[in-house]
Chain A
Amino acid sequence: NAGVTQTPKFQVLKTGQSMTLQCAQDMNHNSMYWYRQDPGMGLRLIYYSASEGTTDKGEVPNGYNVSRLNKREFSLRLESAAPSQTSVYFCASSRGLEGYTFGSGTRLTVV
């Protein structure tokens, strides 16, 4: 059982480049999330999707867009990457209030 799968695991971008982080879950969870993790700041919510067809902003949405492609997949797009977006990005999924299942993360560096 794969759980939550994120691709890629590592990425280096130049300032101004765009990219899409992919996330897929195979647990039939309704809700999916994108967080970023920065040293000393814990995890901060970027966007979430409560159910298929809906998306909402979290705490730090600026500079990002998301797409809930279907129940399994939730992608995060950086249209014009900035050095401030250097971070580790985690996708997670959940069913109700059971707690989150996280992917293993994408380490993104913007130079």
Chain B
Amino acid sequence: AQSVTQPDIHITVSEGASLELRCNYSYGATPYLFWYVQSPGQGLQLLLKYFSGDTLVQGIKGFEAEFKRSQSSFNLRKPSVHWSDAAEYFCAVGDTGGFKTIFGAGTRLFVKA
């Protein structure tokens, strides 16, 4: 069965610093991987997705993620964090049908001035 682990419950970074959020997945076949962001009181918004091909994928809002099959990881990165990036971030893995996407527990990002 597929599963997703986000090891960090919360992370605090300074504005302008770089960011890396960790995600590890378990899936028997080639995974379909996603990162979503949730601002307080809002629904989730898709940041980026990986299906195949180039292992470094670009998303919205300056985010990128790298798929590493050997480490079963799909970490999210941003070179310079803005205060508006403070939110909760969810990694997700989808099955080949696309109907049973499993979400991690989330990582809450705090940005300090």
Contact = CB atoms under 8 A, between A and B. Distances in A.
A97 B98 contact: yes
Contacts, number: 59
B74 to A, nearest CB: 14
A92 B36 CA distance: 13
A104 B94 contact: no
A100 B101 contact: yes
Contacts of B94: 97
Interface in B75-108: 90, 94, 97-106
Interface in B5-61: 9, 32, 34, 36, 41-46, 49, 51
Contact of B100 (A58, A97, A103): A58
13 contacts: A35-B103, A40-B9, A40-B105, A42-B103, A50-B99, A58-B100, A92-B43, A94-B98, A97-B49, A99-B46, A104-B42, A104-B43, A105-B42
B90 A4 contact: no
Contacts of A43: 44, 90, 103
A105 B43 CA distance: 6
Interface of B: 4, 9, 32, 34, 36, 41-46, 49, 51, 90, 94, 97-106
A41 B5 CA distance: 11
Interface size class of A (residues with CB under 8 A): 20 to 34
Contacts of A56: 99
Interface in A65-111: 90, 92, 94, 96-105
A27 interface: no
Contact of B106 (A33, A42, A97, A98): A42
A42 B97 CA distance: 21
In the A-B complex, list the 8 residue pairs whose CB atoms are closest, starting with the nearest.
A102-B43, A42-B103, A99-B46, A43-B103, A97-B98, A42-B105, A102-B44, A104-B43
